[in-house]
Amino acid sequence: MTRKLAAGNWKMNGTRAALDDLNAIVSAHGDPGVDILICPPATLLTQAAALTSGKPLDIGAQDCHSYPSGAHTGDISAPMVADAGGRAVIVGHSERRENHNENNDLVRAKAQAANDAGLIAVICIGETLDERENGQTLDIIAEQLKVSTPDTATADNTVIAYEPVWAIGSGKVPSLDQIREVHDFIRKLLIDRFGNSAQGIRILYGGSVKPGNAAEIFAVSNVDGALVGGASLKESDFSPIINALEATA
Ligand code: PGA
C-alpha cells in the first residue's frame, strides 16, 4: 500500500530563519510512518534539501515552468528543482491559477515537465465557492482532473490535492461528507482512466487543515494525507498533523 503523505506548502513565507522550523520537524519525526514533504519558497530549496539530505523528509517546490530552460525571466524549471535537491513540485495551486492565470492545459504541461525531470507532481484542483453553491463542484473537479493530469500519471509520479478554493486560508472546512464525496469521485475517475493501479495515487485534502481537525479529516475514505499551508509553517502546528496521519496509517 502507498504510504500516506503529509505535505506542507510554505507559500511566500520563510527566510533562512525558517530553517529552524524545518530542523525541528526533522528532529520530531526520525522514523515517521508516513511520507513528509515540505515545499519552501524557491530561495530556500537548496539549503532545505541539504539540511534534510538522508532524512525521512522530502523537499519540493511550489511551481515550475513547463519548459526545461530558456528565456523566462523569474521562472524556475523542473530540472532546476531536481538539481537543487527537490523531489516534488506543486502545480496548479489555486493561487497560481488565480494570480498567474494558469489554466488546466498549462498545469498539465507543468506536471509533465515535473515528471520528465523525475519529480513527483502534486496537482491541485478545487472548486470556488460560487461553483459549489451553483452545484457545479463535481463537474469542475472532473474537468480539472481530466485536463490537468498527464496521460503518463502513475502512483509513483503523481499526487492529487483536492483543495476547495474557499477553504484555503479561510478557516472554513467542507463537511466530512463533502470531502468524502469529492475524494471518492476523484478515486473513481482515476481508476476509470488509469486502471486499478490508480488505487495507489494519493489524494490529499487541503484547505484549513489544523491540528484540531486533522484526525477527523484523515478518517474519511480516500483521504491519503493533506496539503497544509498555514499550519505547516511551525513545527508545533505541523507535528500534530503528521502524528494524526500516522495514527491512520
Ligand atoms: P491553508 O492552505 O492550509 O493555509 O488553508 C492550504 C493550501 O493552500 O495548500
At residue 171, φ and ψ (nearest 5 deg) are 80, -5
C-alpha cell at 112: 509533465
Of all protein residues, the one whose alpha carbon is nearest to atom 6 of ligand 1 is 229
Asked about 163 being catalytic, the answer comes back as yes
* Catalytic site residue from 29, 163, 183, 235: 163
Asked about 246 being catalytic, the answer comes back as no
Measured from the CB, is residue 208 less than 6 Å from ligand 1? yes
- Contact between residue 33 and residue 63 where contact means Cβ atoms under 8 Å apart: no
- Inside any domain, residue 25: yes
**Could you read off the pLDDT tens digit of each residue along the chain, which spans 249 residues?**
689 999 999 999 999 999 999 999 999 999 999 999 999 999 999 999 999 999 999 999 999 999 999 999 999 999 999 999 999 999 999 999 999 999 999 999 999 999 999 999 999 999 999 999 999 999 999 999 999 999 999 999 999 999 999 999 999 999 999 999 999 999 999 999 999 999 999 999 999 999 999 999 999 999 999 999 999 999 999 999 999 999 998
Radius of gyration of the chain (CA): 17
Does pTM surpass 0.75? yes
- CATH assignment at residue 130: 3.20.20.70
How many whole angstroms separate alpha carbon 99 and alpha carbon 175? 27
Q: How far apart are the first and last CA of the chain?
A: 10
Q: Which residue has the cell 522550523?
A: 21
Q: How many CB atoms are closer than 10 A to CB 156? A: 11
- Inside any domain, residue 247: no
Helices 137-148, 176-194: inter-axial angle, 10-degree rounding = 40
- Inside any domain, residue 147: yes
Q: Which residue has the cell 496537482?
A: 123
Nearest to 51 by CA among 19, 8, 16: 19
* Catalytic site residue from 93, 95, 102, 235: 93
- Inside any domain, residue 244: no
Collapsing DSSP to helix, strand or coil, 122 comes out as: strand
Measured from the CB, is residue 228 less than 6 Å from ligand 1? yes
- Inside any domain, residue 243: no
- Inside any domain, residue 240: no
Name the burial class of residue 198, with classes exposed (0-12), middle (13-18) and buried (19+) by CB atoms within 10 angstroms of its CB.
buried
DSSP letter at 246 equals H
Measured from the CB, is residue 169 less than 6 Å from ligand 1? yes
Helices 137-148, 104-116: inter-axial angle, 10-degree rounding = 40
- Inside any domain, residue 246: no
- Inside any domain, residue 237: no
Of all protein residues, the one whose alpha carbon is nearest to atom 7 of ligand 1 is 229
Measured from the CB, is residue 230 less than 6 Å from ligand 1? yes
Based on the structure, what is the number of domains in the chain?
A: 1
Range of the structural domain that residue 121 is part of: 5-231
Measured from the CB, is residue 232 less than 6 Å from ligand 1? no
Which residue from 228, 233, 237 has its CB within 8 A of the most atoms of ligand 1, so it is best to mutate? 228
